[in-house]
Structure 1
Amino acid sequence: MRGLQLLAVTVGLFLTAPLAAGQVTPHTPSVGSAERTAILTALRTHPDMRFTFRHLRVWNDGSRAIAYAEGDNGIIGGFKIILTRDGAAAWTVIWGEGDGGSNSCIAGARHYRWALDLIASHHAQPDALFPGISAQTRELEQMAKDDPDSDCVGDLEGGPA
């Protein structure tokens, strides 16, 4: 009987482990936290700049981290930005799309595919960190095939060289 109980507990732990791992999601740094302040410092190009976030999410991958911020800054308008941090280094903006400007669907598809792959390289679920990125990437890739000369994304910053 004791052997069956041990087997049942072992099987139970084995079956629940994937569920617990699947429930891990990126977090939103709390207002006033050191993490949020560090991200805001990386985003600000002017000390008085204010942000309204629709999304601000962080995923920690060991000693490195990746963050996604989407919102409006009141000066240049809407933005989508990916930042990374390695170890104790400061956050760095490495990818972005902003209101205004115009870039081709081909450039947009390449830009979004690069971001999708970058997020995955940090062992994060891309759509959990950056809501809708998978669908947006597929849409841009299809638009690039259908009409390669059309413009369909705003200002692109960082990303693929």
Structure 2
Amino acid sequence: MAIREIITFPHPVLRQKAETITEFDDALKTLVEDMADTMYKAPGVGLAANQIGIAKRVVVIDPEADEEKRDYLVLINPEITQGEGSMVGEEGCLSVLECYDKVKRFQKIHVTAQDIEGKPLEFDAEDRFARIIQHEVDHLLGKLFIDHLSPLKRTLYKKKLKKILRNKQ
């Protein structure tokens, strides 16, 4: 459908708590298709609506990032209702320029959500798939992966970002 602009930190929409979806209509389907197109073009493995400037509880995920297959998962109003274990792994974010670091997440999660038609979904996710879902659900809560870093690392990243933004002008 359409490639949307990916909003980057420190834009305030990334800190907004996303609104619950109540209407499962053609506008939602178009939004989801645009999000998938944008995610694959970036390229990324997940995208939350906040990242394209829309504070709604919608995420698209494709751990394989395979634009040919386009076998992406749509989660509307996702909630992580349980988490167990822990794992540390490298993360980056399409909305956080030039930053990659290790983040501790649950190793296994239980997810409830709705599909594009509004039907309930419920499943368990583990390992990398669980990491991606947790990262995207954080976006819907107004959190970024850098919020999981130490205060020193966040400060260093903010200094680096100022240089990046200055050089782009």
TM-score by length of 2: 0.28
Higher relative contact order (CA 8 A, sep 6+): 2
TM-score by length of 1: 0.29
Highest CA radius of gyration, 1 or 2? 1
